[in-house]
Structure 1
Amino acid sequence: MKRTLSFIALVFAVAVSGCTPPNKNFTGGKLDFKAQRYEKAKGQFAQALETEPQNPEIHLFMGRTLIEMKDFTGARGAFDQAIELGGEPYAGKVTAAVDPKYVELFKDGKTYADADKLDKAVESMSKAALLDPSRFDAHHALGVIQAKRDEFGAAEASLERAAEIKPEDRDVLFSLGVVQYNATKYEGAILTFKKILELSPGELSALENLARCYQLSEQYDEMIPVYKQIINADPSSSDAHYNYGVALVNAGRIEEAATELETVRELTPDDNEALLTLCRLYRDASMWDKAIAGLEIYVGAVPDDPAGYTEQARVYTAMADALAAEGSNAEANRLRTKALDALTIAGDKSGG
């Protein structure tokens, strides 16, 4: 009997010696965490990781602790370690640990943005995006807020991250294209608006922005067919005809441009900007009678704008030069006098 008891005791002792003893620091850290003693918990978990650096559960608790301490960078690092060591099961645990604080930060960011407190909005939304970089909405919202602050480089980076997560989200792509446009990154904006049109062929706002990018980057051959699509989509849009007309001017297609601007005048007779542009085209095309008639209408509608009188002077001068070349010097001199009179009025109107 004595031998049997001794044998059992020996087996028990061997079994106990083969077990991994509990990590006292980890146990103590969890107690401190539960009691909201986060600084102490952090220290305990740090010591626990010295003993068990490959334990994903300790990294998970370290991340939860750092969230409570508002160290979101450290928390994200701890969570990434937990996922790397623990695999898919810990990805779910991290999501559960992160979600409440993420939602809180995101809501705070939206509230600040709605109140136009953009500094605080960026701060909250940046923390949300850092805490869970796999979530689309914080990157999108952050990019929009940064764009409102004219921080186009940061906004572009945030929106590109959002587009990586949801590559076919039209709103994100449109925001990204607008940011690139405002940052004068026209080639990037062109690619972005083209992608929107691949997803949604014929979308008018994307076509309009694409055309502007081509125009500002002086890619006139690419721009003109886009404006044609815009006019086909909305033939009653005076803006579309005006922009198309300007595009044709830039491409040196003066007669076609004049036709478009005449259409603008038909659609919106009070559009004086289009009228003045049209008169300049008439001058360039040596269509003097049309230019003079149009300018008479313009100076009657906008009598205090010196631009109309200046343009009159240019027309009269161009006519005088043409007549002088033909030998009609008397008529040329009469027109030069009229040009001088128009310039005098322009100077008076401009305060000069």
Structure 2
Amino acid sequence: MEDKNQQAIELMKEQKYEEAAGLFNAIIEESPKDPVGYINFGNLLLHINDTERAELFYNRAIELDQNAATAYYGLGSLYYDQADFATAQKHFFQAVEIGLEEADVYYLLGMTFFHQEDYKLALPYLMRAAELDPNEADYLFQYGLSLAQGEYIDDAKPIFKQVLKLDESHSDAHYNLGVIALYEEDLEGALDHFDQALAIQPEHMLASNAKKQIMDVWHNSDA
């Protein structure tokens, strides 16, 4: 059974969705009381945006096993993609409480708070995601951004610097370091970060506008 599940997952990765669906269906027919088949089929359906059927399969898995953490994670992802962050949050919480200890679930749980502008509540989950996957620059960046939004500026600064160590082409990390430099009244440092953001991403409008404001200040002071 494990071999069939793995084979079906590989077919999914190869974008052979019909073949994968056929195999998942066969797995469910062979073991209708095993939640794993329903979860994997739900993952496939979610991947191809058949959300209504995906929800049915995840719920069926939970009926079979109340502790099917990955089914709750699947439901959380489904609602997250629909921007229903409060419902997504509830399902991610259940996955974590059951014991799903993966960076993804902590990251998405943190992001449900972030999208609802509860930045301080997002912090422990985004921090945990970054701990579990320290090489994922986006997890670290969102943790830093939540610190900054929560007005923990001194704590955010080294996080953005760490993001740049992981990904030196992260224009948004440069932009946010520029904003922090402005907060510290370091106009030259801010300009340097905005220039670097624009070198990486020339259409970065926030960096472009911030740079223009600095140049206007300097121009007016020279006038």
Query: Which interval holds the TM-score relative to the shorter structure?
Result: 0.7 to 0.9
User: 8 Å contact 1:152–1:180 — kept in the other structure?
Assistant: no
Q: State which drifts further: 153-162 or 228-237.
A: 228-237
**What letter matches 2:211 in structure 1?**
Q
Instruction: Write out per-residue CA displacement over residues 146-204 of structure 1, whole angstroms, 9 at most, x where no aligned residue.
Output: 31232323322321121121222333232222112212232232222222222336432
Does residue 210 (structure 1) correspond to residue 109 (structure 2)? The answer is: yes
State whether structure 2 residue 32 is matched by structure 1 residue 117.
no
After superposition, what is the alpha-carbon deviation per residue over 1:112-131, rounded to whole angstroms, capped at 9, x for unaligned? 9763339x949x95xx78xx
Matched, 1:278 2:173: no
- 1:1-352 maps to which residues of 2 (within 5 A)? 115-117=16-18, 121=21, 125=25, 136=35, 139-200=38-99, 202-235=101-134, 237-299=136-198, 301-302=199-200, 304-305=202-203, 307=205, 308-317=207-216, 319=217, 332-334=220-222
Cα drift, residue 242 of structure 1: 1.1
TM-score (norm 2): 0.73
**2: distance between equivalents of 1:316 and 1:215?**
32
Q: Which amino acid aligns with 2:56?
A: A
RCO greater where, 1 or 2, for CA within 8 Å and sep 6 or more? Answer: 2
**Structure 1 residues 205 and 141 mapped into 2: Cα distance closer, same or farther (>3 Å)?**
closer
SS of 1:117's equivalent in the other structure is helix
Q: Give the Cα–Cα distance (whole angstroms) in 1 for the partners of residues 154 and 136 of structure 2.
A: 20
Task: Note the residue ranges of structure 2 that are not aligned, 5 or more in a row.
Answer: none
The separation in 1 between residues aligned to 2:168 and 2:35, in whole angstroms, is 47
Instruction: Give how far 1:303 is off.
Output: 7.5
DSSP 3-state at the match of 2:17? coil
- How many angstroms apart in 1 are the aligned matches of 2:43 and 2:107? 20
Kindly tell me: are residues 191 and 283 of structure 1, through their superposed partners in 2, closer, same or farther at Cα, counting changes over 3 Å?
Answer: same
Cα offsets for 1:234-260 (capped at 9, x unmatched): 555433331111112322333332332
User: Given that residues 211 and 226 in structure 1 are in contact (C-alpha distance below 8 angstroms), is that contact kept between their aligned partners in structure 2?
Assistant: yes
Structure 1 residues 133 and 264: alpha-carbon distance in aligned structure 2, compared to 1, 3 A threshold: closer
- What code does the residue aligned with 2:173 have? A
Count of residues paired in the alignment: 213
Checking the alignment, whether the CA contact within 8 Å between 2:21 and 2:44 is kept in structure 1 is: yes
Instruction: State the shift of 1:137 in Å.
Output: 5.0
Structure number, greater radius of gyration:
1
Distance change >3 Å, CA 197–CA 305, structure 1 → 2: same
Within 2, Cα distance between the matches of 1:136 and 1:267? 38
| Conserved? CA contact 2:62–2:68, under 8 Å | yes
How far apart, in 1, do the equivalents of 2:48 and 2:204 lie? 36
Give the RMSD, CA atoms, in angstroms. Answer: 3.7
CA contact 1:248–1:256 (8 Å) conserved in 2:
yes
CA contact (8 A) 1:207 1:226 kept: yes
**Cα distance, 1:284–1:160 mapped onto 2, change above 3 Å:** farther
CA gap 1:116/1:266 in 2 versus in 1, 3 angstroms: closer
Distance 1:283 1:147 in 2: 43
